[in-house]
Amino acid sequence: MSEIENSILKIDIENCTKCKECVKDCVANLFYFEQDQLQIVESFEDRCIECGHCESVCPVNVIRLKFHKEEELESSSVREDVPIYDKFLNLVLKRRSIRQFKEKAIPKKVIDKLLEVGRYSPTGGNSENVYFTVVQDRSTVTAISRHITERLTTLVNALEGPKGRDLLKKSRSEEEISKVLENLPSIKRKLVMIEKGIDFWCWNGELIIIHGDKVEGGISSNSALAAAHIMLAAETLGLGTCSLGYLTGFVNEYQTIRDLIKIPSNHTVGYCLTMGYPNVKYKKIPARKPLRVQWF
């Protein structure tokens, strides 16, 4: 046998040096040796997550995954210039949530760089199941914010009187209503800020909305990880970002917003970020709680 081939990969067995690196590294344990020959398990095609580790670890380049073109594979050695720890820590410490942006638009090619970082962020089981929606158009951002404000204003007004509460009971569960009532003072405070012209929901920045199929697992963790990577990458490009937890909830809840930015009906939004060129400078790194850790 000079080749192993199936719908996912091809191995040039003749040139395999039998180093067993692929056997040791495959997360799904799909390779083994028998009679001094590399073999793959029968259920390979069902179990392979196409993470590319086997191809990446093989020293003689004899494993090929079929889902990409050969020339797309880049040698890791050209990416060896990674930041040293101190520089990386500086990046982490100096990052602040930015809520004041200049009017300057972000060039598309800069956002492409952020999306490339998002694309390469890890996903559970290498599911690669996150999608990105970029909202650069400021009038759409304003429309999203206005819509949230209008919905909340209507809700708050309805909750002020017993009549409105009775009406709400018809469309919402007791639990939902008591949750809103609990948050009422905080919602009202935000509405006052908004009245003063502050865009509390999106901070008037450009948006990256990260989403994926509702029935697939891990959308929120995968989205959060992609967002975390993007936030740090943004710093290196002179951009500021802010997580938008409220917006994440509202996009999931309000169909009108989903329609505005064409979030597929079978998708859930895992994370929202606002971004732009900062119009604020922080002189100090804020203190944080002491590390809480246990070691065994």
Ligand X SMILES: Cc1cc2nc3c(=O)[nH]c(=O)nc-3n(C[C@H](O)[C@H](O)[C@H](O)COP(=O)(O)O)c2cc1C
Q: Point out which residues bind ligand SF4 (CB under 6 A).
A: 11, 16-22, 26-28, 30, 38, 48-54, 57-58, 60, 62-63, 65
Binding partner selected for residue 233 from ligand X, ligand SF4, none, CB under the kind-specific 5 to 8 Å limit:
none
Can residue 190 be called a binding residue for ligand X (CB under 6 A)?
Answer: no
Q: Which range of residues in 9-17, 91-99, 101-109, 190-198 is near ligand X by CB under 6 A?
A: 91-99
Q: Is 26 or 268 the residue whose CB approaches ligand X more closely?
A: 268
Please, what is the minimum distance in Å from the beta carbon of residue 116 to ligand SF4?
Answer: 21
Beta carbons within 10 angstroms of residue 50's beta carbon: 15
Binding partner selected for residue 97 from ligand SF4, ligand X, none, CB under the kind-specific 5 to 8 Å limit:
ligand X
Can residue 138 be called a binding residue for ligand X (CB under 6 A)?
Answer: no
Can residue 149 be called a binding residue for ligand X (CB under 6 A)?
Answer: no
Please, what is the minimum distance in Å from the beta carbon of residue 130 to ligand SF4?
Answer: 19
Helix 85-94 with 219-236: angle, nearest 10 deg:
100
Member of 32, 246, 254, 277 binding ligand X (CB under 6 A): 246
Q: Would you give the binding string for ligand X spanning residues 200-239, x where CB under 6 A is met? A: ----------------------------------------
Q: Which range of residues in 14-22, 36-44, 94-102, 208-216 is near ligand X by CB under 6 A?
A: 94-102
Can residue 48 be called a binding residue for ligand X (CB under 6 A)?
Answer: no
Please, what is the minimum distance in Å from the beta carbon of residue 186 to ligand X?
Answer: 12
Strands 31-34 and 37-40: antiparallel
Can residue 245 be called a binding residue for ligand X (CB under 6 A)?
Answer: yes
Binding partner selected for residue 225 from ligand SF4, ligand X, none, CB under the kind-specific 5 to 8 Å limit:
none
Q: Which range of residues in 46-54, 92-100, 109-117, 159-167 is near ligand X by CB under 6 A?
A: 92-100
| Residue 135 bridge partners (DSSP) | 207
Binding partner selected for residue 230 from ligand X, ligand SF4, none, CB under the kind-specific 5 to 8 Å limit:
none
Which residue in 184, 163, 187, 174 sits closest to 246, CA to CA? Answer: 187
Q: Which residues bind ligand X (CB under 6 A)?
A: 96-97, 99, 242-246
